[in-house]
Chain A
Amino acid sequence: MLHIENLTLQLPYYRRWFQREWITCLDNLSLSIQPGEIHAVIGASGAGKSLLASAIMGLLPEGARISGQLFFKKAPLTTERQRQLRGRQLALIPQSLNALDPLVSSQRQVSWAARRAGQSKTVAWHSAEHALNHYQLDQHAHRAYPHQLSGGMARRVLAAMARIGNASLIIADEPSVGLDPQQRDRVLASIKALALEGKAVMLITHDLRHALPISDHVTILRQGQCIETTYASAFRGHGEQLKSAYARALWNALPDNAFESDAIAIENDNESVNKNDSKRTAHTNVTVLPKETIKETRIA
């Protein structure tokens, strides 16, 4: 369904006014997602997870430099095609609940999403109602404005918007963050249901433990690099089936497991990540590695 080959993404960063440097946010990343499977992308904050979602959807900030190939349904995913498919074949469940329009009731917002997917006005209105019912949101919630919804309900409205256009690829960006256990399980179950309907789902999260039971494949990202892609079933025991030390440390650091991390192993892994880099950028919020720090001094 979705196939990513050697994706490298660089964002500009100004050290001084006209002194531009490039920060490598995603480095030579390759992965592919099949229909009907959940592919979890796991990483610490600043690993470039959300940028990966933006790159697939074509929502990158201006000035981003991107190389590598994206294929969707075996055809290259160009900027033009991304614009056509966005909201129709490609759907994003955004991380921030601010993505909901605060002045519009939830049913109307969901019907907008249906309109975008090509449904007529009346059909869209009814299918919005149907979609919200599907996520166990009652009549009261249909009429509610985003500030009247709890976090879990708002997430389910966003999920309904992503589902309504019958998109074949759904990217869920941190869908479970900030929810209590019951709400989180409900939201994750609704994501699993999407995969069971035959959609390809990319689940972006830092919550390894709760992503594992519903995922088929797991990709571990670290500072923009793909550390390991493996079956979710490889995460068991002491992580003997995991190839990289970082993935093993991540698994063993969970409170259910050893709650210990082999600091030396991570350091070694760290060195292998860093070996090509002379220095790390310190000033950005995103912890990133300037793989090729290109200095461009320009005169205005």
Chain B
Amino acid sequence: MLDARKISFGFRSQTPLFSQLSLQLERGEWLGLSGDSGMGKSTLGKLLAGLLQPQQGEICIDSKPLPSQGLRPVQWLPQSPELAVNPRWRVKKLLCEAWHPSESLMQDFGIQPDWLSRLPSALSGGELQRVCVLRALAPGVRYLIADEISTMLDPITQLELWRAVRKVADQHHLGVLVISHDTALLERLCTQRLHLAQGTLAMVTTLETP
């Protein structure tokens, strides 16, 4: 279980984004996180992934603190894949940065063999996003933080992306936190949705299993 215990964080110490915030994400669970802009959804995602350190409180996986070295068991997927890749690396190098995905997994994500020799600029946003998601699914990874990963995609590409993520998450029993403005999407994907407002989390609805 990914467990954030009473964490506080603020970019300026006078105005904390949130204080004493707790959140649990089980393995195999799909949790939605919605909220207005500027409320700290992405910041919370980065805290959970260990990319930022909380000023108070702690974040644990199965009662052990997040490892500070090596592969992160919680992977953060950013909104724009163009900014998350080195533009001078070819797709093969990008994909194999942490691990070597199998051919069949690449097929699941619809990654064509001829993309591997291309530069990121020669792929469309949806294609590159799939490369980035697959890159993050190394064997040691147990949780995914998907931060608005399908916002800039058209409906069909969005659907294909989520279908691929769902398949892998089911196979590896991953816990997924989906951050999005799009409540309709969250209701489709997640079993529960949290709403972040004014530094507090509210459980909005307990949705039926999708």
Contact = CB atoms under 8 A, between A and B. Distances in A.
Interface in B144-177: 152-160
Interface in A266-300: 266, 282-285, 287
Interface stretch (B47-55, B60-68, B184-192, B193-201): B184-192
Task: Please indicate which of the listed interface residues B36, B123, B154, B181 has the most CB atoms of chain A within 10 Å of its own CB.
Answer: B154
A201 to B, nearest CB: 21
B114 interface: yes
Contacts of A251: 155
A261 B154 contact: no
A44 interface: yes
Contacts of B123: 285
Contacts of A44: 124, 126, 153-154, 156-157
A255 B193 CA distance: 15
Contacts of A287: 124
Contacts of A2: none
A1 to B, nearest CB: 27
A284 B122 CA distance: 6
B182 interface: yes
B154 A250 contact: yes
Contact of B122 (A180, A259, A260, A285): A285
A253 B159 contact: yes
Interface string A39-70: 00011111000000000000000000000000
B57 to A, nearest CB: 27
A254 interface: yes
Contact of A180 (B157, B181, B188): B181
Contacts of B184: 254-256
B37 A180 contact: yes
B125 interface: yes
A255 B189 CA distance: 9
Contact of B124 (A180, A250, A259, A285): A285
Contacts of A181: 36, 181
B156 A261 contact: yes
B121 interface: yes
Nearest to A44: B154
Contact of A45 (B118, B124, B185, B188): B124
A42 B156 CA distance: 12
B154 A208 contact: yes
Interface residues of A, number: 30
Contacts of A232: none
A45 B154 CA distance: 8
Interface in A174-197: 177-178, 180-183
Interface of A is mostly: loop
Interface of B is mostly: helix
Interface in B122-149: 122-126
B188 A255 contact: yes
A259 B154 contact: no
A256 B36 CA distance: 20
A253 B122 contact: no
Given A180-B181, A255-B187, A255-B188, A206 B154 contact: yes
B194 to A, nearest CB: 17
Nearest to A253: B155
Contacts of A255: 182, 184-185, 187-188
A285 B122 CA distance: 4
A180 to B, nearest CB: 4
A143 B167 CA distance: 51
Nearest to B162: A259
Given A206-B154, A283-B122, A285-B121, A182 B36 contact: yes
A261 B159 CA distance: 8
B75 to A, nearest CB: 23
Task: Please indicate which of the listed interface residues A177, A180, A208 has the most CB atoms of chain B within 10 Å of its own CB.
Answer: A180
A206 to B, nearest CB: 5
A131 interface: no
Task: Please indicate which of the listed interface residues A206, A250, A260 has the most CB atoms of chain B within 10 Å of its own CB.
Answer: A206
B30 to A, nearest CB: 14
A250 B36 CA distance: 27
A249 interface: yes
Given A46-B124, A283-B122, A249 B156 contact: yes
A168 to B, nearest CB: 30
7 contacts: A42-B154, A44-B126, A45-B124, A45-B153, A255-B185, A261-B159, A283-B118
Given A44-B124, A251-B155, A255-B182, 4 more contacts: A45-B125, A45-B126, A178-B152, A181-B181
